[in-house]
Amino acid sequence: MKRRNFIKISALATAGFSVLGSINPFKAKAETLVDAAGFTLPKLPYSYGALEPFVDELTMTIHHSKHHAAYVTNLNKALETVVGKHSDLEQILANVSTFNSAVRNNAGGHYNHSFFWKLMTPKGSEMGALVNKALSDSFGSVEQFKAEFRKTALTVFGSGWAWVVQGEDGKLKLGTTPNQDNPLMDVCALKGKPVLALDVWEHAYYLKHQNKRADYIDGWWQIVNWKQVEENLNKA
């Protein structure tokens, strides 16, 4: 190797090391196992304005095309610094403690939003008997479930999510996660199969409801896709 090239490469390597700390891009590139994960932003099953007036068009536009898109881009970028090919999102979540925090935040963000979009539908959908029974069995009644879910979603301090998960005993339970954590993560205290989730980050409602998270939650019931909830229950 010519001396000039050697100096150039050494300087680049040093720069990479100091900027990224323990993540050394040169080491990662030397591994033949490294491959692009190639996660992509899923299309919404409805238009940005379709959930009006409960979730407004501008919020949906920014939420999907900016926030969710950034989680996808940053997840792919974060995985480039990790050895091995990781293209199974649920596998990543199940072992998220072995990844860095960029993977944790962005894999969570990608999963949570992909899950969340499908839980909404323009004008909502009728709740079927199976969901009604599951909610009644676990919470007493659908009305009681809604009241408890509302309380749970209001208790999330800062950014996070409210969840309904199904435990191994088949029972449904409520819980919350901070940031973009979710119940599929090995680091998460709340365990179970996700059935329903509500994004209570301010970016999900602030343009329309400002500080009134309760109004966002109360309106949200009008656009819940109970058919999807039933599908999640059957899967769980």
- What is the contact surface with Mn ion in residues (CB under 5 A)? 199, 201
Q: Which of 55, 37, 173, 25 is nearest to 103 (CA)?
A: 37
Nearer to Mn ion, 181 or 199 (CB): 199
- The distance of closest approach from Cβ of residue 164 to Mn ion in the complex, given in angstroms and rounded to an integer, is 18
Nearer to Mn ion, 201 or 216 (CB): 201
- The distance of closest approach from Cβ of residue 109 to Mn ion in the complex, given in angstroms and rounded to an integer, is 7
Nearer to Mn ion, 111 or 149 (CB): 111
- The distance of closest approach from Cβ of residue 149 to Mn ion in the complex, given in angstroms and rounded to an integer, is 18
**Pair of tokens at residue 53:** 């007036």
When CB distances to Mn ion are compared, the closest residue is: 199
Q: How far apart are CA 127 and CA 24, in angstroms?
A: 51
Nearer to Mn ion, 37 or 198 (CB): 198
Nearer to Mn ion, 82 or 113 (CB): 113
Q: How far apart are CA 230 and CA 126, in angstroms?
A: 11
Q: How far apart are CA 220 and CA 124, in angstroms?
A: 9
How many C-beta neighbours within 10 Å does residue 108 have?
26
- The distance of closest approach from Cβ of residue 152 to Mn ion in the complex, given in angstroms and rounded to an integer, is 17
Long-range contacts at 18-26 (CB < 8 A, ≥ 24 apart)? 20/81, 23/81, 23/100, 25/81
- The distance of closest approach from Cβ of residue 38 to Mn ion in the complex, given in angstroms and rounded to an integer, is 22
Residues ≥6 apart with Cβ < 8 Å to 176:
152, 153, 155, 156, 160, 161, 162, 163, 190
